[in-house]
Amino acid sequence: MGKVYVFDHPLIQHKLTIIRDKETGTKEFRELVDEVSTLMAFEITRDLPLQEVKIQTPVCEANAKTLAGKKLGIVPILRAGIGMVDGILKLIPAAKVGHVGLYRDPATLKPVEYYVKLPSDVEERDFIVVDPMLATGGSATEAIHSLKKRGAQNIKFMCLVAAPEGVEVLQEDHPDVDIYIAALDEKLNEKGYIVPGLGDAGDRLFGTK
Ligand code: URA
């Protein structure tokens, strides 16, 4: 069963409160999603492997540590996931970025993939799939399925706000995927919105309605 990590750092919680507020406009919303994504990237990279290197400081030779060069990939789910990418790249600028686009089939109501572009060395990379909202879990599950189909083996899922329903679906469908969230909300409403949530993340990020 995938673990669920809730990042309860005060800075993340403070910024998330402003993100949730309906009076927060597009510019500030976008900037804060970017900042929270950076803060979450700091936490999610906690287990990156290190290697010992020898360096020369101005004072003496020293044993020091650097990242062991693990290859990372960030995969936003279109379109709202795009709002989280730059914030993550600030901390891990060498990561490659793939994209997964899904639409909801009007007959089955199930997400269907319409666009997938991933780095060519999928099998060698660890991936972070990002979407601000984990609502029903349908898109996250399908996006992760798209990655696995193409050879990805090590995947984490990161979002700002999750509903318990979505967490359950994702854990059931992908028990090997750990879930990283800034807040676990109460429930989904009858329209599929997370309650209390923050509204439509894509519309608020891009100023559309
Ligand atoms: N997607 C959103 O953008 N918001 C929700 O509340 C649920 C899904």
Secondary structure letter of residue 47 according to DSSP: T
**pLDDT score at 171:** 98
Cα(53) to centroid of ligand 1, in Å?
45
**pLDDT score at 70:** 84
Average pLDDT, the chain: 97
Atom of ligand 1 nearest to the CA of 198: 6
> Model pTM?
0.96
Residue 180's identity, in one-letter code, is Y
Give nearest CA residue, ligand 1 atom 4. Answer: 200
pLDDT digits (tens, 9 = 90+) for 126-185: 999 999 999 999 999 999 999 999 999 999 999 999 999 999 999 999 999 999 999 999
**pLDDT score at 69:** 84
Cα(15) to centroid of ligand 1, in Å?
18
> Which is nearest to 169 in space by CA: 127, 132, 135?
135
User: b/e per residue, 89-109, with b = 16+ CB within 10 A?
Assistant: beebeebbbbbbbbeeeeeee
Cα(141) to centroid of ligand 1, in Å?
15
- 41, 85 contact by CB (below 8 A): no
Catalytic residue positions? 104, 108, 200, 203
Q: How confident is the model at residue 106 (pLDDT cuts 50, 70, 90)?
A: confident
**pLDDT score at 107:** 86
Q: How far is CA 148 from CA 123, 128, 134, 143, 155, in A?
A: 9, 12, 19, 9, 9
- 74, 89 contact by CB (below 8 A): yes
Ligand 1 contacts CB of residue 201 (under 6 A) = yes
135 annotated ligand-binding residue? yes
**pLDDT score at 178:** 98
Ligand 1 contacts CB of residue 193 (under 6 A) = yes
Residues in contact with 86: Cβ distance below 8 Å, sequence separation at least 6, in sequence order: 34, 37
Better-scored residue on pLDDT, 71 or 109: 71
The structure tokens listed for 146 are: 């798209």
* Interior angle at CA 149, CA 131 and CA 109, nearest 5: 55
Most informative mutation of 193, 204, 205 for ligand 1 (most atoms within 8 A of CB) = 193
Ligand 1 contacts CB of residue 77 (under 6 A) = no
Q: Is the pLDDT of residue 15 over 90?
A: yes
**pLDDT score at 7:** 97
204 annotated ligand-binding residue? no
- 35, 15 contact by CB (below 8 A): yes
**pLDDT score at 167:** 98
The structure tokens listed for 27 are: 């510019």
Q: Say which residue the tokens 């960030």 belong to.
A: 74
- 105, 142 contact by CB (below 8 A): no
